[in-house]
Structure 1
Amino acid sequence: MTSEQYQPYPNPQHYEPFGAGQSYPVEPTSGGATPPRTVTYAFYLMLSGAALSGIDLLYGLTELSYVRATAMAKHSGKGTLSDSQIDTIVTVSFVVGCVVTLISVGLWIWMAFANRAGRNWARITATVFFGMYTVDTLATVTVGDGTAISTAITVLTWLVGLAVVILLWIKQSGTHFQPAPEYTPYSADTYSAGPQDF
């Protein structure tokens, strides 16, 4: 046997465990890469809610002259407010309503993408927003100041929000909002077993 063919056994004192020196990155992500169908349905419903809010805004703009005329007929001549004051109040109310509606559209879109990404805080936040919108819807329906079309849009938007909350909290959606398990990086320093331990 030649020296080239001779292969000595490895020195047991230099034993190195498999994978020593390698580290496995920790990626604490939430949910899976592909959301379940229930979350996908909720995502598209939230985008629909944003569209309904935009439609409500456009419809409200067409009703500006009607609301102004109604306010004039209701308060003009009573001495409490002048016509210019009534006109100012109506205009300011519409501007504030437009800003609030635009914020609502942005919140719908934000919640849609955050929930699709598996953010559990987004699911909780969306539920809180739905509770606030429920109070606003009850006030709108109870007072009845809006037109039939605006009231119908409000109720339809509420129903969309209800469906979204149900889809986000049913069992099929739960795993998408649970954080993935974190694995400790493996290295030779964490492995203390050696031949002397046996």
Structure 2
Amino acid sequence: MTSPQNPWQQGGYPQGGTPSGGFPQQHLQGGYSQYPQSNPFAAPPVPAQELSTFQRPITVEIAFWIAIVVPLLATVLSVLSYMLLQGFVNDSIAGSMGDPDLDQQISSVANGVMLFFFVFITIIYLVLTGLWILFGFKMRAGKNWARITLTVFAGLWMLFGVIALIQGGSMTMSGDLDGANLPSSYFALSYSQTGLGLVGMIVFLTLAYLKPSNWYFKAASRF
């Protein structure tokens, strides 16, 4: 006969017990090891190897900063080259004709032509720099199409750089001044600009396609 206080005293389970007469595992050693507490409906954890692969490697980070800094420096060097060239032209024209008014007219025409080419070239540099920065951020985020686009840009930059070195400097307005005694500082600046582009693009392409970079873009494509 059972009592209202303890209906399991006769013929039932022991108080706090189980059909086998024992006690649940959580009462043994005061723990809950037999019954896992994790959510059975939760997504499985990402393997540690895959998680470490998806982290942005240092190769992509350096390639990103090259894509940002090198085009900006090339634009600045282009502006400095123009300023040196303009000063050289003005100094060469001054007093060359023996007539101050004629010298002034020739100088104005020359400066106007140089300014036109300078604005045209600078706009091209600024547009390309903006594209480099835009695609650089996309590449840094793991977009493989941005890496491919910048690869094409880098290849073209290297091609123009090699042509410029063969011609003896930067591919600017200096070709219109063949035979003129251009200042050595102009050539130094032009070679620096061309060399910066060539070295920067070689390093960029190398870093963008190293094994850690390839793993990163492959992992990023899954998300």
Q: TM-score, normalised by structure 1?
A: 0.63
Aligned to 1:96: 120
Q: 1:131 to 1:71 in 2, by over 3 A?
A: farther
Deviation at 1:61, TM superposition (A): 3.9
Question: Following TM superposition, by how much is the alpha carbon of 1:67 offset from its aligned partner in structure 2, in angstroms?
Answer: 5.6
Matched residue type, 2:215: T
* 8 Å contact kept, 2:142–2:221: no
Provide structure 2 residue ranges, at least 5 long, that are not aligned to the other structure. Answer: 8-39, 44-52, 98-104, 169-173, 175-185
Over 3 Å counting, the alpha-carbon distance change for 1:88 and 1:58 in structure 2 is closer
1:134 Cα offset (Å):
1.4
Q: Deviations over 1:49-78 (max 9, x none)?
A: 1331232133134224236448969xx9xx
Closer/same/farther in 2, CA of residues 93 and 67 from structure 1, 3 Å limit: farther
Task: Report the 3-state secondary structure (helix = DSSP H, G, I; strand = E; otherwise coil) of the residue aligned with 1:118.
Answer: coil
Identity percentage of aligned residues: 26
8 Å CA contact 1:41–1:167 kept in 2: the answer is: yes
Contact 1:36 1:176 in 2 (8 A): yes
CA-based RMSD of the aligned residues comes to: 3.5
Deviation at 1:42, TM superposition (A): 0.9
Aligned: 1:63 with 2:84: yes
Give the alignment of 1:9-158 within 5 angstroms: 34-66=55-87, 68-69=89-90, 83=106, 86-144=110-168, 145=174, 147-158=187-198
Displacement of 1:33: 5.8
- For residues 124 and 67 of structure 1, do their structure 2 counterparts lie closer, same or farther at Cα, with a shift above 3 Å needed? farther
**What one-letter code is carried by the residue in structure 1 that aligns with 2:116?**
V
1:35 counterpart SS class: coil
- Assess if the C-alpha contact under 8 Å between 1:68 and 1:90 holds in 2: no
Structure 1 counterpart of 2:133, which letter? I
Q: Which has the higher contact order (CA 8 A, sep 6+)?
A: 1
- Structure 2 distance, partners of 1:156, 1:165, is 14
- Aligned partners of 2:79, 2:63: CA distance in 1, in Å? 24
Structure 2: distance between partners of 1:161 and 1:111: 15
Q: Is the 8 A contact 1:64 1:94 kept in 2?
A: no
> CA–CA distance in 1 between the matches of 2:81 and 2:199?
20
What corresponds to 1:27 in structure 2? Answer: none
Q: 1:168 to 1:140 in 2, by over 3 A?
A: same
Is the Cα contact below 8 Å between 1:35 and 1:176 reproduced in 2?
Answer: yes
Q: Distance in 2 between matches of 1:147 and 1:114?
A: 35
Contact 2:67 2:132 in 1 (8 A): yes
Q: Which of the pair has more CA radius of gyration? A: 2
